[in-house]
Amino acid sequence: MKNFKVLVLFCMIVVTQIVYGQQIKMAMIQGKITVKNMPKEIALYSIVNGETVLHSKVNVDEDGNFGFYFAPSYSGFYRIAERKIPVRLYITPGKKTSIDITDEGYSVLEATDKENKKMEEWSNIIGKMKNANSLGAMNTYRDIFPEMPAIEKQKNTFVANLKTGNNSFDKLMEAMSEADFEYELFHFLNMPRTVHPKFDSLPDIYRKYAAGPHYTSTASMKYDFGQQSIGAYLMYMYSEKMSKGVKPGPDFMQQSAIENIKNDTLKGWYFLNNNLVRARAFDQKYRDMAEKYKPYILTDAQKQKLHNFELTIRTFGDGEQAINFDGKTPAGKTVALNDLKGKVVLVDVWATWCGPCRKEIPALQKLEKEMEGKDIVFMSYSIDEKKDYDKWKKMIVDSTLGGLQLIGDLAWKSDICTNYKITGIPRFMLFDKEGKIVTIDSPRPSNPDLKTLIEKHLK
């Protein structure tokens, strides 16, 4: 009865298209999922500019059946993601695909679907490396390195036998499988492990794939890992420099992208996702960075993404009036940011449980001593919970913390966090004598740039 209902619905849609004279060729994905924890719905993703973008979601019935019926906006790779079982499919207008998904993986049911049978074959080849690169995987290099030559050999055999009769697919699949293998190779080095190899002990396969020109075209933007692969490769180049005793500067990754990524559009995507859209404020720091990297923002999609992002940070630009907040001193007195106009104010948002925050204390104390007697207030604003007030007070005494010590009433929900969208600490913010924002993401005290910035606004 269920199959009859699906058939009737399908026929009604087809008839509707004929009646209205539409020339749309719809694609159909029929599937069944049988896993330990059955989902109530399942999602289909398009690949847009090297990333997965949600296309649609459908319900999964009590027997595990689901289906997608849609007009593809392009011929190429799509992805169905169900927990740890990402299913890659090649979809074109008019194509029908049937799949089964289990806890072990997925299978394409129709032998005539040559393209997706090849997708399944590749999934089985690269699966061991992908599983090793998933969060929570216990594999170490001792497990995976010995397997790499065999997986590479399987990859080479797979590429040599790509003869589905669909030349467009064969070329796309060949490029994707080569890129996928390389991505997983470099990605493996960046995942958290119980033990990591020394760089000079990496197998020769790493040097082989790192050599030669990389990213000469935008082909990788057709793959679901396209954006991530750039960062994985550049991290390898970073490690290579470190292994040679070279201490990379703060802009090494950006300079490495300029030197090693040969396509300017891909450079733009890297700078956009790894630098520009990570800014917290439309301040001079951001504007300087934007001026440096905007020449690589070339496509309409890049420009639109950057424009949308900038709308979210302009409210915290330098020169804009600060959003007031207050806190309590250890004695219980309420002090607000607005009370401190006439002085430059450096705010350190921290907590007693935050290791990186505590690490900055010696540098902060040194900076306070160097600027003693100047028109600056060093405010340390704790977001410890109320139950930890005594712990906070004790640490102020035990660590001889100076400056203005305040604490919020609501921890992460304190005004300072909600108003300035603080989701991670330590966070240092600087306000000028008029109570206006200099930056809500200043350098840390351990960075000499902070002292230079403060001195600029003390004049």
Residue of 107, 115, 114 lying closest to 30 (CA atoms): 107
Sequence-ordered list of residues with C-beta below 8 angstroms from that of 146, at least 6 positions apart, any chain: none
Specify whether the CB–CB gap between 376 and 345 falls below 8 A.
yes
- DSSP string of 205-230, one letter each residue: HHHHHHSS-B--SSGGGGSTTHHHHH
E strand map for 35-95:
41-48, 51-59, 65-70, 76-82, 85-91
Residue of 318, 329, 343, 441 lying closest to 396 (CA atoms): 329
- Supply the pLDDT for residue 159: 97
Where are the domains positioned within the chain?
Answer: 21-110, 212-316, 326-458
- Supply the pLDDT for residue 5: 45
Packing angle, helices 264-274 and 252-260, rounded to 10:
160
Burial of 161 (0-12, 13-18, 19+ CB in 10 A): exposed
On the question of a common fold for 21-110 and 326-458, the answer reads: no
User: What pTM does this model have?
Assistant: 0.69
Q: How far apart are CA 440 and CA 105, in angstroms?
A: 46
DSSP-derived 3-state class of residue 98? strand
Residue of 283, 265, 286, 266 lying closest to 275 (CA atoms): 286
- Supply the pLDDT for residue 252: 84
pLDDT tens, per residue, the chain with 459 residues: 445 444 444 444 444 344 344 557 999 999 999 998 899 999 999 999 999 999 999 999 999 999 999 999 999 999 998 656 679 999 999 999 999 999 888 999 999 999 999 999 999 999 989 888 887 778 889 999 999 999 999 999 999 999 999 999 999 999 999 999 999 999 999 888 888 899 989 999 999 999 978 899 999 999 999 999 999 999 999 888 888 888 777 788 898 899 899 999 999 999 999 999 999 888 888 989 999 999 999 999 999 999 889 888 877 888 888 989 999 999 999 999 999 999 999 999 999 999 999 999 999 999 999 999 999 999 999 999 989 999 999 999 999 999 999 999 799 999 899 888 898 999 999 999 999 999 999 999 999 999 999 999 998
Which CATH entry fits the domain spanning 21-110: 2.60.40.180, 1.10.150.20, 3.40.50.300, 2.40.50.100?
Answer: 2.60.40.180
Q: How far apart are CA 411 and CA 416, in angstroms?
A: 9
Which CATH entry fits the domain spanning 326-458: 3.40.30.10, 2.60.40.2700, 3.30.413.10, 1.10.10.10?
Answer: 3.40.30.10
Specify whether the CB–CB gap between 62 and 129 falls below 8 A.
no
- Supply the pLDDT for residue 84: 64
What one-character DSSP code corresponds to residue 21? T
Sequence-ordered list of residues with C-beta below 8 angstroms from that of 41, at least 6 positions apart, any chain: 57, 58, 59, 60
CA atoms within 13 A of residue 275's CA, in its CB half-sphere: 25
